[in-house]
Amino acid sequence: MGQSRMQFKAYILVLSLWAVIFLPGLGTPEFKGEEGRRVLPAVTMVQTGNWIMPSVGGEDYYNKPPGINWLVAASFLVTGGHSEWAARLPSVLGVLAFVTMLCWIRTPWLGWEARLIGAIVFMTNISMIEKGRLIEIEAVYVCLTGLVTLWWLAVWSRGGSPWAMWVGPCALLVFGALVKGPLLGVVFYVTVLSVLLYARRIKAAFSPAHMVGIVIILVVCLGWVYLAYWQTSGGVMVNKWAVQWHHRVAPKQVNFTNWGEGPLRGLVNMLPWLLMTPLLWMRRFTSRIPVEHLGGFRACRLAMVVSFVAMNLMPGTESRYSMPVIPLVAILLGWILSLHTEPIWTDRLWRGAVLIFLIAASAIGIAGAIKMADGIECWLVAAGALGVTGVVLWLAPAIVGGLRLSVATSSVTAILVLEYAVFALPIVTAVQNRRPAAAAVNAMVPSGQTVYVYRPGYQPFLFYVRQPLAYLVKPEDIDGRVRYLLLGGDFLAAPEVKARLGDRQIRTLCEFELSERVRGRYRLIEVGAAPHFIRDS
């Protein structure tokens, strides 16, 4: 009963940290980076009911499978509206799903302290804080990798049914493949094979349950490929995938600078906990692992290294490719730090860094509250930073060992994220330009009127246009229905567009410029009727 009570308290702490780190200001910033490619196809899916092939700007989007778009579209349907908060919800729920499984799934390898520390490590590394607050593939992909790997390890460690050990993970692998592709299986299968090799039970990989799981993966994934192939220009889709894969594995020209930076950036993604990973090889701690569990620990440690190296061997690699290793790092650090109970000399350094960051956070909180003294939340955050700093200073001599240092580190992270949400996000939002651009369109087009957009490509600001949108991808699509037409770049002067507009009167309603790589300047025009307009039969 005591263990269960402590496990429940640990989960309450994990749940609180998750809420503080990932929820504040979630819907405040505009979509950035690749977020629009995850959101705009989801909007189209909800509007058209076509959930097979994602599309951006009216054109099929072949770069990625539709799994992430399905999640966003489902979030829109469940929450009842289109918003940044709803779009990013799958990422934060993915984080919650992994740390919840980590806290509650039964495994003799990990006690409640290891589970708590592992969850803290996962939620407070740099890359998960960044990606977990965005709707990008990486957060969902990393969490799926963690779920499938942890599931298999838990069932294996307690000698569970082969069907539970293989079919469940394979179901998650199916969805992972439909989110990003087959690379999710690298970390999973490297871990599985390492554990089986250490246990000298490699034949378990050829069990009927595993074969059934592989059949499930192939049937579902190839089934989607078949439907997408015949619904779209299948040859273009396959060629696009081949080009992407070739670019990553065997590019025509290797950029050795980027290739060398990939592993370094991948390691930076694991800060601050990267500094703790040498403990995984210290005999002082590994000797405390029970003999019957030591093989599993060593196998997972080997899998962590091999997976990271394998992900970074591709000439076209990027730092985000090695992010799926992070759940395994969190599990292993939770395992080893739970065995770190007495002080060592590095504890003083870590504790000192925690105190420095807390004092800095307190100073930021006070300065921010004085500067932005227009809301009680500013003063509450400042007071919270001061309170946490005071408690940590008071308890400083007792903050030693893996568990206490991890909890202290999580308090720093929580305070800094809250300060970012309260003090920094309003400043960031004030200089963003996608919402104002869409607001200009909304102000000039009467409610309910359709805005026709000619070959927009990838333009996230269209998410904020509240009037109905219709995408035109060919000059012939510009017909007599079009009244409000949004054009990017020099399309208004393009001969094919001028020919389709004919002698219709044109009135410019607004113009704006976005900091996009292509078609950054946009013009909204109102097109009048003309008796001699070219009409399609």
Region of poorest pLDDT, from 128-142, 323-337, 425-439: 425-439
User: In the predicted model, what is the mean pLDDT of residues 372-379?
Assistant: 74
- Closest-CA residue to 490 (of 525, 441, 523, 457): 523
Domain parsing of the chain, residue ranges = 2-337, 345-430, 434-527
Mean residue pLDDT of the chain comes to: 87
Q: Is the pLDDT assigned to residue 474 strictly greater than 60?
A: yes
Q: What sign does the CA torsion over 358, 359, 364, 369 have?
A: positive
Between 382 and 131, the higher pLDDT residue: 131
- Closest-CA residue to 334 (of 93, 21, 10, 5): 10
- HSE (side-chain half, CA atoms, 13 Å) at 384: 18
Q: How many helices (H) and strands (E) in the chain?
A: 21, 7
Cβ within 8 Å of residue 431, ≥6 positions away = none
103 near 116, Cβ under 8 Å?
yes
Cβ within 8 Å of residue 214, ≥6 positions away = 170
Give me the DSSP letters along 280-331: GG-HHHHTTS-HHHHHHHHHHHHHHHHHHHHHHHSTT--GGGGGGGHHHHHH
Q: Is the pLDDT assigned to residue 306 strictly greater than 50?
A: yes
pLDDT at res. 231: 73
458 near 477, Cβ under 8 Å?
no
Q: Is the pLDDT assigned to residue 387 strictly greater than 80?
A: yes
Amino acid present at 322: S
| Token pair recorded at residue 142 | 């990393």
Alpha-carbon distance of 366 to 388, in angstroms, equals 14
pLDDT at res. 233: 63
531 pLDDT band (50/70/90 cuts)? very low
User: In the predicted model, what is the mean pLDDT of residues 519-528?
Assistant: 81
184 near 148, Cβ under 8 Å?
yes
Burial class (CB in 10 A: 0-12, 13-18, 19+), 28: middle
Distance (Å) of CA 444 to CA 306, 437, 469: 57, 11, 14
Q: In angstroms, how far is CA 200 from the centroid of its own chain?
A: 36
pLDDT at res. 530: 52
Class of domain 434-527: alpha beta
pLDDT at res. 536: 41
Q: What share of the chain in percent tops pLDDT 70?
A: 90
Neighbours of 449 (CB within 10 A): 13
Q: What share of the chain in percent tops pLDDT 90?
A: 47
387 near 445, Cβ under 8 Å?
no
240 near 181, Cβ under 8 Å?
no
452 near 472, Cβ under 8 Å?
yes
pLDDT at res. 165: 93
Q: In angstroms, how far is CA 384 from the centroid of its own chain?
A: 28
514 near 434, Cβ under 8 Å?
yes
The per-residue pLDDT for range 240-289, each reduced to its tens digit, is 666 666 566 656 666 656 667 778 888 888 999 999 999 999 999 999 99
Alpha-carbon distance of 230 to 208, in angstroms, equals 33
228 pLDDT band (50/70/90 cuts)? confident
